[in-house]
Amino acid sequence: MSVDLSTSLGSLQLAAPTMTASGCAAAGRELAQFGDVASLGAVVTKSIMLNPRSGRATPRMAETPSGMLNSIGLQGPGLEAFLEKDLSWLVENDVTTIVSIAGGSVEEFREIAIRLRDVPGIAGLEVNISCPNVESRGQVFACDPNSASAVIEAVRAEWTSSAPILAKLSPDVTDIVTIARSVADAGADGVSMINTLLGMVIDVDNMRPLLGGRTGGLSGPAIRPVAVRAVYQVHAALPDLPILGMGGIRSGHDALEFIAAGASAVSIGTVVFGDPGAPWRVAAELAKELDARGYGSLREVVGAAHKG
Ligand SMILES: Cc1cc2nc3c(=O)[nH]c(=O)nc-3n(C[C@H](O)[C@H](O)[C@H](O)COP(=O)(O)O)c2cc1C
């Protein structure tokens, strides 16, 4: 079997199509005991903000049918500590790294882009606009086309590197194509989709929301059909816009659905908590799934579900 799994996201050439999903494998180092991290398509790091952040109140996780709800709340060490401890490890180990960034304001995104643009070893920027805008009633940037494009315009204006900018979209919108179009017009080279869906679990013994932060993000297989639908819709409307697909991928078969819907690569998230080798396993399974259907390369299947 010799299936060519190489792919690309805009100008970024990838030897392998599976990546970690932001927030599900920290900065990749913990995965090193389970496989060669440099052989992954890329590590997408946990979203980093300008300053250290402690995240939301506990409990922060709840199991749900075929998924999980988390309210970590962008906990992290802040940009400088990330560069010193995490990015340096990734660079030393030749890992293709997509840095995920988050901010509470357009200015915070801009500042992060300025700080990162000359840092070597960044293969791509994933701009997590699925976080609340502190200056606009806590509204999530990715839920409004104007806020979403304001962030991407600011990052684009400062980003002098040739590494692509991917906008990470939220599925919690009426029309995800409108948002994808607005970020593409603002200068995103591609989109990552989907982030978690907003959910809630109630503890009926004490009659309170179970998570300390009350609401949380739903991930895992439960959201996969929503994610596949989102990828399909965006690829149908914007066929030239590269898509990094994610949402409940557990197997090569699942990954193939995303590729056929229009994704050029996939991120592996929640499944990694139970199976840390999943990003490598899914790539191997994907090769078998393609081979079994007579395909010689992944590229020929991108968007295949739209043909005919
Ligand atoms: C515990 C946890 C933390 C996450 N943290 C981030 C994050 O920091 N930034 C981000 O863009 N997405 C974050 N996500 C969303 C994932 O990257 C992914 O988009 C989503 O979980 C869907 O994929 P999955 O079902 O394979 O997990 C997080 C998800 C989980 C479960």
Q: Which pLDDT tens digit goes with each residue over 63-122?
A: 999 999 999 888 899 999 999 999 999 999 999 999 999 999 999 999 999 999 999 999
Contact indicator for 252, 288 with CB cutoff of 8 Å: yes
Among protein residues, the one whose CA lies closest to atom 4 of ligand 1: 23
Q: Give the active site residue among 31, 131, 167, 228.
A: 131
CB of 22 sitting under 6 A from ligand 1: yes
Q: What is the pLDDT of residue 200?
A: 95
pLDDT of residue 146: 96
Which residue's structure tokens are 């799994």? 5
Residue type, 26: A
Tell me what pLDDT residue 57 has: 83
- The number of the ligand 1 atom at minimal distance from the alpha carbon of 130 is 11
Mapping DSSP to helix (H, G, I), strand (E, B) and coil, where does residue 37 land?
helix
Atom of ligand 1 nearest to the CA of 126: 11
Q: Is the CB of residue 166 below 6 angstroms from any atom belonging to ligand 1?
A: no
Pocket test for ligand 1, best of 215, 219, 258, 271 (most atoms within 8 A of CB): 219
pLDDT at residue 133, rounded to an integer = 76
Q: Is the CB of 270 under 6 A from ligand 1?
A: yes
Supply the residue whose CA is at minimum distance from atom 21 of ligand 1.
219
Helix 224-237 and helix 176-185, axial crossing angle in degrees, nearest 10: 50
Q: Is 248 in the pocket of ligand 1 (CB under 6 A)?
A: yes
Is 131 considered catalytic here? yes
Q: Which of 214, 218, 219, 183 is nearest to 198 (CA)?
A: 218
170-179 burial, b for 16+ CB within 10 Å, e for fewer? bbbbeebeeb
Give pLDDT, residue 75.
85
| Residue 248 alpha carbon, nearest atom of ligand 1 | 25
Q: What stretches in the chain show pLDDT beneath 70? A: 1
Cβ(19)–Cβ(44) under 8 Å? yes
CA within 13 Å, CB half, 252: 17
Instruction: Give the ligand 1 atom nearest the CA of 270.
Output: 27
Cα gap 129→142, rounded to integer Å? 5
Place of tokens 């999980």: 68
Query: Ligand 1: does its nearest atom lie under 6 Å from the Cβ of 18?
Result: no
At 1 the pLDDT is: 67
